A and B are shown apart, each in its own frame.
Chain A
Amino acid sequence: MSELPPFLLFFIAAGLVAVTRGLPRQLILLATPVVTGLHLWQDINPGADVAYSLMSYELAVLRADKLSLLFGYLFCIASFFAGTYALHVKDTKQHVAGLIYAGSALGAVFSGDLITLFIFWELLAISSVFLIWARGTERALKAGIRYLVYQVLSGVLLLAGALVYYHNTGSLEFGHIGLDAGIAGWLIFIAFGIKSAFPFLHSWLTDGYPEATVTGTVLLSAFTTKVAVYSLARGFAGEEILIYIGVTMACFPIFYAVIENDLRRVLAYSLINQVGFMVTGIGIGTALALNGAVAHAFSDVIFKGLLFMSMGAVLYRTGNINGSDLGGLYKSMPKTTLLCIVGALSISAFPLFSGFVSKSMVMTALMQENHGYLWLLMLFASAGVFHHAGIKIPYFAFFHHDSGIRTEEAPRNMLVAMSVAAALCIFIGTQPQYLYALLPWEVEYWPYDLTHVLAQTQLLFFSALAFVWLNKKGLYPPELHSVNLDAEWFYRHLVPAGAQRTLHLLRGAKASTLTKVIAHMQGVKNQFGKSPMAKYYLSESWPTGSMVFWISAILATFLLLGLFGLRP
Chain B
Amino acid sequence: MLSHISLLLVVVPLISAPVVAILPRGRLPWAVAFIVAASCAVLAGVQLWAVLHEGTISYELGGWAPPWGIEYRIDAVNAFVALIVATIAAITLPYALLSAEREIPEDKIPLFYSAMLLCLTGLLGITQTGDIFNVFVFLEISSLASYALISLGRQRQAFTAAYQYLIMGTIGATFYLIGVGLIYSQTGTLNMQDLATILPDVLHLNTVETGFAFIIVGIALKLAMFPLHLWLPNAYTYAPSVVTVFLAATATKVAVYVLLRILFTVFPQGFAVTTPADELFIVAGIAGIITASVSAIYQENIKRLLAYSSVAQVGYMVLGIGFASATGLTAALVHLFNHALMKGALFMAVGAIVYRVGACRMEQIHGLGRAMPWTFGAIVIGGLSLIGVPGTAGFISKWYLVVAALEQQAWISVAVILSGSLLAVVYVGKMIEALYFKPVADAGKAVSEAPILLLLPTWALVLANVYFGLDTDLTVGVAEKAAAILVGVQP
Which of A's residues lie within 8 Å of B, judged by CB? 54-56, 118-119, 122, 126, 141, 145, 152, 156, 159-160, 163, 167, 541-544, 546-548, 550-551, 554-555, 557-559, 561-563, 567-568
Contact = CB atoms under 8 A, between A and B. Distances in A.
B280 interface: yes
Given A544-B167, A558-B213, A562-B276, A156 B421 contact: yes
B406 A167 contact: yes
B210 A563 contact: yes
A535 to B, nearest CB: 14
Given A156-B418, A561-B276, A554 B210 contact: no
Contacts, number: 85
Contacts of B171: 547-548, 551
Given A119-B390, A558-B276, A541 B231 contact: no
Interface stretch (B55-63, B136-144, B220-228, B240-248): B220-228
Contact of A163 (B210, B406, B425): B406
A554 B220 contact: yes
A563 B217 contact: no
Contacts of A568: 279
B214 A555 contact: yes
A141 B437 contact: yes
A119 B276 contact: no
B472 A55 contact: yes
Interface string B6-38: 000000000000000000000000000000000
Interface string B198-235: 00000000100110011011001100000110110000
B167 A563 contact: no
Interface string B164-190: 100110011001000000000000000
Interface of B: 160, 164, 167-168, 171-172, 175, 206, 209-210, 213-214, 216-217, 220-221, 227-228, 230-231, 275-277, 279-280, 389-391, 396, 399, 402-403, 406, 414, 418, 421-422, 425, 429, 437, 470, 472, 476
Nearest to A126: B389
B214 A152 contact: no
B213 to A, nearest CB: 4
B390 A544 contact: no
- By CB atoms of chain A within 10 A, which of B210, B217, B228, B389 has the most? B217
A19 to B, nearest CB: 14
A56 B160 CA distance: 48
Contact of B476 (A55, A159, A551, A563): A55
B399 A551 contact: no
Contacts of A145: 429
Contacts of B279: 567-568
B294 to A, nearest CB: 15
Contact of A555 (B206, B213, B391): B213
A159 B415 CA distance: 12
A122 B395 CA distance: 12
A551 B213 contact: no
Contact of A122 (B164, B276, B390, B396): B390
| Complex A-B, nearest 5 residue pairs according to Cβ-Cβ distance, in ascending order | A561-B276, A55-B472, A558-B213, A119-B390, A555-B217
A541 B160 CA distance: 9
Nearest to A542: B164
B227 A550 contact: yes
Contact of A551 (B217, B389, B402): B217
Given A541-B160, A554-B228, A55 B399 contact: yes
Contacts of B210: 559, 563
Contacts of B414: 160, 163
A555 B422 contact: no
B390 A562 contact: no
Given A163-B402, A559-B213, 10 more contacts: A56-B476, A159-B418, A167-B406, A547-B171, A547-B228, A547-B230, A551-B221, A555-B214, A567-B276, A567-B279
Contact of B217 (A152, A543, A554): A554
A55 B397 CA distance: 11
Contacts of A547: 168, 171, 221, 228, 230-231
Contacts of A542: 164
Contacts of A119: 390-391
A242 B385 CA distance: 37
A163 to B, nearest CB: 6
A126 B231 CA distance: 36
10 contacts: A55-B399, A55-B476, A156-B422, A543-B230, A547-B228, A551-B228, A554-B228, A558-B277, A563-B209, A567-B279
A145 B433 CA distance: 10
A561 B164 CA distance: 30
A550 B216 CA distance: 14
B97 to A, nearest CB: 31
Given A55-B396, A559-B213, A563-B206, A546 B276 contact: no
Contacts of B231: 547
B230 A546 contact: yes
- By CB atoms of chain B within 10 A, which of A55, A156, A548, A561 has the most? A55
Nearest to B209: A562
A54 B391 CA distance: 10
Nearest to B415: A160
A340 B470 CA distance: 46
